[in-house]
Amino acid sequence: MRLADAPSLYAASADPVPVYPTLTEPVTADVAIIGGGFTGLSAALHLAERGVDAVVVEANSVGWGASGRNGGQLHSGQRRDQGWLESRFGRDDALRLWRLGEEAKALTLGLIARHRIDCDWRLGLIEAVHKPRLVAEERAYVDTLRDDYGYGAVEWLDREAVAAAIGTDCYHGGRLDNGAGHLDPLKFARGLARAAAGAGARIFEGSRATRVAKSGRWTVTTGKGSVAADIVLLAGNGYLDGIDDDTEAHVMPIDNYILATAPIGAGRPGGLIPSGAAVSDTRFVVYYFRPTADGRLLFGGGESYAPTERTDVAEFVTRHLLNVYPRLKGTKVDYAWGGRLAITMQRLPYIRRLRPGVYTAAGYSGQGVALAPFAGKLIADAIGGDTTRFDVFAGLPCPPFPGGRWLRYPALVAGMSWYALRDRL
Ligand SMILES: Cc1cc2nc3c(=O)[nH]c(=O)nc-3n(C[C@H](O)[C@H](O)[C@H](O)COP(=O)(O)OP(=O)(O)OC[C@H]3O[C@@H](n4cnc5c(N)ncnc54)[C@H](O)[C@@H]3O)c2cc1C
């Protein structure tokens, strides 16, 4: 039976895909992976390619989580800019993290090419500046990337050039990154699943893990079956609820919302965003938007820090959309949906070996289109004995959220609301 996808433009427009069975019996594997998003599917693929017997248990359908619902923007670098990274870790480690970010981007693009994943990939991403006081700093960052990091794919766009590229004059300049871009994330997730299954990984949908326990080997118990394995990877990200206290203390789930308009010729000459680029801006609660392959505007903005999802998504996101494109007032919204990402205190991912045989990867803080498939590969490499890249991420500081798993929400709401207020000042 085909399980319901999370409602979104992506789910509504996707081609039929294979249905993976539900786990209904005890099975054994080398590695049990909880979660069938970018992280879990990439780990499964890279393990299977090494001849490791990997089983994915996915509570819903493949790509049901953030991976199949996100903005589809593939960014360069890490979620923190190089200046921030240099000030915390020094120039050498900042450079190492930049290069790993580039490897992550190349991995996503390489997977698309190698497995012929038709996911509407399009080059070009503009980081648009929403406050005049940020222009000098953002402009200087172009020079930093070009001169200090040897990244020539980036150029500065002044106010007029940004307006021409994206069809609104509300930004004060922007950084065009011709090495970044955008894609349809559900198509990418499903392509990863197809590649992983093709390489020999076993994928089970409708199979929520309810318990992870050790008795000799690790056992992951699901509703109707179980997986006994030497190694477990926790890849549930923002949806990993009640499975691992440690991961949940270090990452915070956040609901973020998107709408897609009716087709309006976006991304085409003479239409909105004629450059075809994706855009994300400098707000703390980022606005991100892009044209889709069928000429819609897909716009994300606005977050909720409450443990429950909001129900007025179209109205909520439209309020943000009109701050950028007032002329779209009255434009039909065909789809509106939310998804749950996970952030960390430092906005750097939480990738760890928690205890012998248990790995976790989560908290990509809005940078998971590049970093989540990469994390899956790094963990597959680490399991195979090459910990070089894994160790860099595992060594990044990631303090737990104040209040731990249960009390983290009130502290977060207070902190985030303050920053959201600053966006408006
Ligand atoms: C609205 C939105 C917009 C975003 N936009 C962007 C963007 O433009 N660019 C970018 O880089 N990043 C973006 N992100 C973040 C990005 O989507 C994530 O970082 C990335 O998809 C994380 O992948 P994942 O595989 O770790 O987690 P997920 O894709 O969330 O997958 C986790 C999976 O685990 C399953 N699961 C959880 N618990 C269990 C269990 N107990 N048993 C079995 N299965 C379980 C869930 O059903 C889910 O399918 C966005 C996220 C959201 C929500």
How far, in Å, is the centroid of ligand 1 from the Cα of 4?
16
Both structure tokens of 280: 């994300």
Are 151 and 283 in a shared domain?
A: yes
Q: 413: pLDDT confidence band, cut at 50, 70 and 90?
A: low
Last residue of a domain, one of 312, 343, 374: 343
pLDDT, tens digit, 9 for 90 and up, residues 136-153: 999 999 999 999 999 999
Ligand 1 contact, 240 CB (< 6 A): yes
Burial profile 93-118: b = 16 or more Cβ within 10 angstroms, e = fewer: ebbebbebbbebbebbbebbeebebe
- CATH number assigned to the domain comprising residue 217: 3.50.50.60
Work out the average pLDDT over 30-54. Answer: 98
Ligand 1 contact, 238 CB (< 6 A): yes
Is residue 390, in this structure, part of any structural domain at all? yes
How far, in Å, is the centroid of ligand 1 from the Cα of 139?
32
Are 176 and 41 in a shared domain?
A: no
Ligand 1 contact, 373 CB (< 6 A): no
How far, in Å, is the centroid of ligand 1 from the Cα of 37?
6
Mutate to test the pocket of ligand 1, among 9, 56, 70, 202 (most ligand atoms within 8 A of CB): 70
Is residue 169, in this structure, part of any structural domain at all? yes
Mutate to test the pocket of ligand 1, among 341, 343, 365, 374 (most ligand atoms within 8 A of CB): 341
Is the CB of residue 296 less than 8 Å from the CB of residue 329?
no
Last residue of a domain, one of 308, 328, 343: 343
Ligand 1 contact, 191 CB (< 6 A): no
Are 29 and 155 in a shared domain?
A: no
Is the CB of residue 340 less than 8 Å from the CB of residue 240?
no
The pTM is what?
Answer: 0.95
User: 376: domain range?
Assistant: 9-69+186-251+346-413
How far, in Å, is the centroid of ligand 1 from the Cα of 405?
19
Ligand 1 contact, 36 CB (< 6 A): yes
Work out the average pLDDT over 230-243. Answer: 96
Residue 416 has pLDDT above 90, yes or no: no
Residue owning the nearest CA to atom 16 of ligand 1? 368
pLDDT, tens digit, 9 for 90 and up, residues 354-412: 999 999 999 999 999 999 999 999 999 999 999 999 999 999 999 998 876 555 665 56
How far, in Å, is the centroid of ligand 1 from the Cα of 133?
34
Are 356 and 268 in a shared domain?
A: no
Are 275 and 194 in a shared domain?
A: no
Are 260 and 331 in a shared domain?
A: yes
Are 337 and 352 in a shared domain?
A: no
Amino acid 311: pLDDT: 79
| Reduced 3-state DSSP string for the chain | CCCCCCCCHHHHHCCCCCCCCCCCCEEEEEEEEECCCHHHHHHHHHHHHCCCCEEEECCCCCCCCHHHCCCCEECCCCCCCHHHHHHHHCHHHHHHHHHHHHHHHHHHHHHHHHCCCCCCCEEEEEEECCCHHHHHHHHHHHHHHHHHCCCCCEEEECHHHHHHHHCCCCCCCEEEEEEEEECCHHHHHHHHHHHHHHHCCEEECCCCEEEEEEECEEEEEECCCEEEEEEEEECCHHHCCCCCHHHHHHCEEEEEEEEEECCCCCCCCCCCCCCCCEEEECCCCCCEEEECCCCCEEEEEEEECCCCCCCCHHHHHHHHHHHHCHHHCCCCEEEEEEEEEEECCCCCCEEEEEECCEEEEECCCCCHHHHHHHHHHHHHHHHCCCCHHHHHHHCCCCCCCCCHHHHHHHHHHHHHHHHHHHHHC
Ligand 1 contact, 97 CB (< 6 A): no
Work out the average pLDDT over 175-182. Answer: 98
Ligand 1 contact, 34 CB (< 6 A): yes
How far, in Å, is the centroid of ligand 1 from the Cα of 36?
9
Mutate to test the pocket of ligand 1, among 38, 220, 239 (most ligand atoms within 8 A of CB): 239
Chain mean pLDDT for the chain: 93
Are 215 and 351 in a shared domain?
A: yes
For residue 370, which atom of ligand 1 is closest to its CA? 11
Is residue 63, in this structure, part of any structural domain at all? yes
Q: How many domains does the chain have?
A: 2
Residue 418 has pLDDT above 60, yes or no: no
Are 166 and 145 in a shared domain?
A: yes
How far, in Å, is the centroid of ligand 1 from the Cα of 285?
18
DSSP-assigned beta bridge partners for residue 278: 125
Is residue 100, in this structure, part of any structural domain at all? no
- Lowest-pLDDT range of 80-84, 260-264, 369-373, 416-420: 416-420
Ligand 1 contact, 256 CB (< 6 A): yes
Nearest to 290 by CA among 277, 275, 303: 277
Is the CB of residue 51 less than 8 Å from the CB of residue 76?
no
Question: In Å, what is the CA distance from 359 to each residue of 43, 214, 230, 253?
Answer: 11, 14, 11, 19
Last residue of a domain, one of 343, 366, 391: 343
Amino acid 302: pLDDT: 76
For residue 238, which atom of ligand 1 is closest to its CA? 30
Amino acid 385: pLDDT: 97
Contacts of 294 (CB under 8 A, 6+ apart): 13, 263
Residue 1 has pLDDT above 80, yes or no: no
Amino acid 14: pLDDT: 81
Amino acid 422: pLDDT: 58
- CATH number assigned to the domain comprising residue 287: 3.30.9.10
Ligand 1 contact, 305 CB (< 6 A): no
Nearest-angstrom CA–CA distance, 412 and 358: 28
Amino acid 6: pLDDT: 72
Work out the average pLDDT over 14-37. Answer: 94
pLDDT, tens digit, 9 for 90 and up, residues 109-135: 999 999 999 999 999 999 999 999 999
Are 246 and 277 in a shared domain?
A: no
Q: Give the number of C-alpha atoms closer than 13 A to the C-alpha of residue 213, restricted to the C-beta side.
A: 6
How far, in Å, is the centroid of ligand 1 from the Cα of 67?
4
Are 173 and 232 in a shared domain?
A: no
Mutate to test the pocket of ligand 1, among 369, 371, 374 (most ligand atoms within 8 A of CB): 369
Is residue 275, in this structure, part of any structural domain at all? yes
How far, in Å, is the centroid of ligand 1 from the Cα of 128?
25
Residue owning the nearest CA to atom 15 of ligand 1? 366
Residue owning the nearest CA to atom 53 of ligand 1? 339
pLDDT, tens digit, 9 for 90 and up, residues 300-357: 987 766 666 787 899 999 999 999 999 999 999 999 999 999 999 999 999 999 999 9
How far, in Å, is the centroid of ligand 1 from the Cα of 213?
24
Are 308 and 322 in a shared domain?
A: yes
Q: 299: pLDDT confidence band, cut at 50, 70 and 90?
A: very high
